[in-house]
Structure 1
Amino acid sequence: MILHSPSTIEHYTAAKLWGGRTLLDVVAAHVVDVPQRVAIVDTPDREALIGTPATSVTWSEFGKAVDAIATGLIRRGLKKDDVVVAQLPNVWELIALYFAVSRAGGVLSPVAMQWRETELRNVAEASQAQLYIGVKNFKGFDHISMAAKLGYATVAIEDVTALAAQAPDQALLDAVSVSANDIFSLCWSSGTESHAKGCPMSHNNWLYQMRLVPNTAGIQEGDRVLAPAPMVNMTGAVAWLSWLAARGTLLLHHPLNVELFLKQILTEKVQFTILVPAILNMILKLPNVDSLDLSSIRSIATGSAPPSRWSMEEFKRRWNIEICNLWGQTEGTGLVGGPVDVPDFAMRSEHFPWWGKPGLEWPSTMEGVQAKLLDEQDQECTRPGEVGELVYRGPNVFAGYYRRPDLAQNSFTADGFFRTGDFFIVRDERHIGFFDRKKDIIIRGGFNISAAEVENLVLTHPGVQEVAAVAVPDEIMGEKTCIYVVPKDKARLPTLEDIVDHLKQIGVAVYKLPEHIEYLDIIPRNPVGKILKAQLRQRVHASGA
């Protein structure tokens, strides 16, 4: 399945940013070069999650399993370009399925464990997928029965494990042709639409993306990578791409079990992981934080929301860990504020390298990416302080939403830049910074307030564990800021007055101060850690705050 236009393929191939190598070739090379190195270690709580024991596989075993599963899928009728839906937690078979389905000529479409009939029906309609791979029991829910009721042909995880132990048929596999421009995966973008949209990524898209984190975060040969995010979109991909680039060991985890996760960090000699800002803050606010030894970790990537400068500085001060600020989307776009391109640690939480700006060069050598900011009239923003929508073009960007040509006109500019839907601000002549989602800006009396900035400021209050900021309607000002707070100590709730006084003391502009407060036990988030702002806005309207 080739979806990129011939002109796009010709352009990036001529620029030597795309080639003929596939992700399957990368795995095959690792099998030859480091056959006995451990490739993947299951999450330790696998048996409690899905009822089968945790295991580990070497690169040699992983390569054989990929070929064996691919053989079994072909024998079950999988044909070239068929889409296969997989709904699995982070187990080693899910990683193998990415490559096995591709080896068989198909396209893997992983989905979140939390999805139910409505979402799976949309996936089936949008992708035309007929085969579903899942689990019979996950936290008391039978995913296989759900998929069967929707008309999918189903394969249980136990069957995939059994296939992996069979002998592969090399003649059968060699008859399947897979090119670097074929689609490798079909992940789904949550976005702001009523239905998720399919984001097809080719081998060449992913191979370019595989350079992004290693080139900017200092990933090294043989690194042990801890993967706590679900392997269903770009957040999870940061881990498996880094693992593949390093020929390393992938330590699986998910769904999040904080106690177990900390145990893995402390005992598994992890060099790299990815954590959402909320978990970074949680670790730093643990009662025993002073006794934690995280010295094996070289760098941590963080994304899904802007990190606080406080958390970045604390990880550096306590353990000499470099925090890499990632912004990215399932559509393939990505920017990294890491030690290579943004060495000034004080800048990194708010500055991304302005990749592709004419006249600038970067140590990461991320050539081919072009980023610019457009105002409401599609004019470029160039002066410090100007805010515009980030539009992005590069060899890592998908060809367009799967089977949705109706979205192309609004998704791309006339010159082929993807419209990200995120506002960025010009920081200086070399840097841009995330400002907010288009629909996540609070407009108070004509002033634009970044909800993310308010959240990071409120997090500096010692009594706040987590926070989310949303707009509440106001007859005079238009909107005001409401904060949802998870207190560190429920017996000593930080009041709105306490927080406002704290923000005034650290010098926050008056119009950014929150004017309403609500308390929660937990901030609602989607499977990759993004705050579900729509739920909180509805709650604000319902309460009449």
Structure 2
Amino acid sequence: MDIERSILDVFSSAAAKYAERPGFTCLGHTLTIGDIDRLSANFASYLQNHTNLKPGDRIAVQLPNVLQYPVVVFGALRAGLIVVNTNPLYTQRELKHQLNDSGAKALVVLANIADTASSVVAETSVEQVIVSEIADLHSPVKRLLINSVAKYIKKMVPEFSFANQVDFRSAMTLGASRPHQDVQRTPDDIAVLQYTGGTTGVAKGAMLTNRNLVANMEQVREALGDSMKEGEEFYISPLPLYHIYAFTIHCMCLLTTGSHSLLIPNPRDIPGFVKTLKGKRFTGFVGLNTLFNGLMRNPDFANLDFSKLHTTCSGGMALTRATAEKWEQMTGCVVTEGYGMTETSPVVSFNPAEAVQLGTVGLPVPGTEVKVIDENGNDLPNNTPGELCVRGPQVMKGYWERPEATGETIDPDGWLKTGDMAVIQDDGYIKIVDRKKDMIIVSGFNVYPNEIEDIVSAHPKVTEAAAVGIPDERSGEAVKLFVVKADASLSAEEVIAYCRENMTAYKVPKNIEFREDLPKTNVGKILRRELRDEEMKKMGEAVSA
């Protein structure tokens, strides 16, 4: 494993070797890896010759899955900048915090969402805003058609204005007029500031270095083994590239092996997503539990061509047994679940395709050490639940300008505390029990929401479920279950009876609430905290009344 290379070293090697191979396709247009090399050089030239940005400065990239994303990111890295991946769904408060916390001096934003940025950018350190329209890298006719439909017919582009604005195509034209100079960075230089979701307080920027990202790319490639054939893979990319899971898979592993990714700008439009897949003979699929469920409920999904599909990767949230079994039945492809987090670039473990153990997140990827500890920091033996700790070359440098938070998370020996409760089996496979903060304590017994959700999701009348703990006078906490029905006839009594058949009494939910849908993050991860906060608010209002 060669982890002493920079991302640019890896990218340049791939561009030379696979220039003619397709790299990314979106909305019917394809950029080859050679195209991405040329266009990212033009963007780097613009940054170097037409802005005041210097190597080490931060540039925020607020783009969904469009062709501009890899061009902008690799262009920024070639200019020696640090990429700040920025969620397009951020509110004004969240965006303002991230721009100020990172000290970003430039922002690249899609016109469709630029109104949020335009309302806060004057209160941040941003000096330059580059605005792109959705089809800016398509052919002239198609670009005019798609951008006009988005703006004038579908009314997808709200009003906005920036004092320091340039449009993306103008920037690219300026960049093409002068040569750029690749800025060489060391393995320990920060490449990406990847902000945590902020579900436990203020969002923090994980400093991911060139070494972290190149190491994790190599680790994932080794974990996938012979299933990833250079220059031959065609993967579906519904998860956002600004999320570290998709970034590492599609922009690192796949691009640098001459592989092809099909970008899905709006995976929530399931009918449109399935229509895009029609006629495609893809070899890999990267997703997560809620997305798999949504696709399989679409009647046209089963008619797609799965004849070449050999790899389905799941991460980002727990994979339920019912979902995994149904996916394999419908597609003929086993789901290989892995585990990771922003702070580990992100992959820590992965199920080998030839030896998948459902209910586990597989084996540590090469070069990774894991252990579990108790509340006092003592190492625990196999098969004993404790907090999972990770050490390896993919572990972040630390949190941006937060030395105290870094010290609380990474110990002097390099062990990162994940905040996840896990069991390490005798065979080395890891089973994530749950988030430490999500654990429910009922009459002194530990209850893990993942287990309850996995069992309930197997009920044929259930689409998805989420379990949270609520205060209870008798037991300290009780389990409340939120359920989305797959069959309107499902009753609370039926759910509770099913739980009693399949789990110990203290784990059985005391309360059932049916919902049309559950709150989720931008990648589809269920937000238990939001549900828990709602319950606490309702209980507080009841007491005050």
Cα gap change, 1:442 to 1:300, in 2 (>3 Å): same
For 2:260, give the aligned amino acid. T
Matched, 1:40 2:24: yes
Matched, 1:338 2:371: no
Match of 2:517 among 518, 522, 525: 522
Match of 2:494 among 492, 498, 502: 498
Residue 18 of structure 1: aligned partner: 3
Cα gap change, 1:264 to 1:524, in 2 (>3 Å): same
**Matched ranges for 1:14-413 at <5 A:** 17-19=2-4, 21-42=5-26, 44=27, 55-75=29-49, 76-138=51-113, 142-151=115-124, 152-153=126-127, 154-157=129-132, 159-165=167-173, 168=176, 172-174=180-182, 176-217=183-224, 218-221=227-230, 222-237=232-247, 238-256=249-267, 257-287=269-299, 290-332=302-344, 333-340=346-353, 343-345=354-356, 347-353=357-363, 355=364, 366-384=365-383, 386-413=384-411
TM, length-normalised to structure 1: 0.86
CA distance in 2, matches of 1:285, 1:298: 21
Moved more, 298-307 or 395-404: 298-307
| 1:93, distance to aligned residue in structure 2 (A) | 1.1
| 1:233, distance to aligned residue in structure 2 (A) | 2.7
CA distance in 2, matches of 1:348, 1:207: 28
Cα gap change, 1:73 to 1:288, in 2 (>3 Å): closer
Q: Is the 8 A contact 1:84 1:109 kept in 2?
A: yes
| 1:168, distance to aligned residue in structure 2 (A) | 4.4
| Structure 1 portions without partners, runs of 5+ | 1-15, 45-53, 356-365
CA distance in 2, matches of 1:508, 1:242: 41
1:448 is paired with a residue whose SS is strand
For 2:242, give the aligned amino acid. V
Cα gap change, 1:288 to 1:252, in 2 (>3 Å): closer
For 2:340, give the aligned amino acid. G
CA distance in 2, matches of 1:483, 1:314: 23
CA distance in 2, matches of 1:249, 1:114: 26
| 1:439, distance to aligned residue in structure 2 (A) | 1.0
Match of 1:446 among 444, 447, 458: 444
Residue 153 of structure 2: aligned partner: none
Q: Is the 8 A contact 2:236 2:262 kept in 1?
A: yes
CA distance in 2, matches of 1:242, 1:307: 22
Q: Is the 8 A contact 1:226 1:239 kept in 2?
A: no
Residue 472 of structure 1: aligned partner: 470
For 1:148, give the aligned amino acid. V
Cα gap change, 1:166 to 1:272, in 2 (>3 Å): farther
Fraction of identical pairs, as percent: 26
| 1:165, distance to aligned residue in structure 2 (A) | 4.9
Q: Deviations over 1:81-105 (max 9, x none)?
A: 0000111111111111211111111
| 1:247, distance to aligned residue in structure 2 (A) | 1.2
2:292 is paired with a residue whose SS is helix
For 2:94, give the aligned amino acid. E
| 1:150, distance to aligned residue in structure 2 (A) | 2.8
CA distance in 2, matches of 1:295, 1:499: 37
Report the RMSD for the aligned CA atoms in angstroms: 2.2
| 1:167, distance to aligned residue in structure 2 (A) | 5.8
| 1:63, distance to aligned residue in structure 2 (A) | 0.5
Q: Deviations over 1:38-71 (max 9, x none)?
A: 11112x2xxxxxxxxx632111111000110000
| Structure 2 portions without partners, runs of 5+ | 134-166
Q: Deviations over 1:122-153 (max 9, x none)?
A: 12332111211112333xx6245235333423
Q: Is the 8 A contact 1:351 1:427 kept in 2?
A: no
1:251 is paired with a residue whose SS is strand
Q: Is the 8 A contact 2:234 2:284 kept in 1?
A: yes
For 2:341, give the aligned amino acid. Q
Q: Is the 8 A contact 2:290 2:525 kept in 1?
A: no
| 1:321, distance to aligned residue in structure 2 (A) | 0.7
Cα gap change, 1:291 to 1:59, in 2 (>3 Å): closer
Moved more, 67-76 or 121-130: 121-130
Moved more, 256-265 or 475-484: 256-265
| 1:429, distance to aligned residue in structure 2 (A) | 4.4
Cα gap change, 1:17 to 1:132, in 2 (>3 Å): same
| 1:307, distance to aligned residue in structure 2 (A) | 0.7
CA distance in 2, matches of 1:513, 1:292: 39
Matched, 1:437 2:435: yes
Moved more, 116-125 or 279-288: 279-288
Cα gap change, 1:399 to 1:70, in 2 (>3 Å): same
Cα gap change, 1:157 to 1:499, in 2 (>3 Å): same
1:209 is paired with a residue whose SS is helix
Q: Is the 8 A contact 1:224 1:270 kept in 2?
A: yes
| 1:202, distance to aligned residue in structure 2 (A) | 1.5
Aligned length: 498
| 1:433, distance to aligned residue in structure 2 (A) | 0.7
Q: Is the 8 A contact 2:64 2:242 kept in 1?
A: no
CA distance in 2, matches of 1:318, 1:148: 47
Q: Deviations over 1:15-48 (max 9, x none)?
A: x6531x2222222222222222211112x2xxxx
Q: Deviations over 1:136-181 (max 9, x none)?
A: 333xx6245235333423111153344345564786415x332333
Cα gap change, 1:136 to 1:344, in 2 (>3 Å): closer
For 1:227, give the aligned amino acid. S
For 1:532, give the aligned amino acid. L
CA distance in 2, matches of 1:283, 1:92: 24
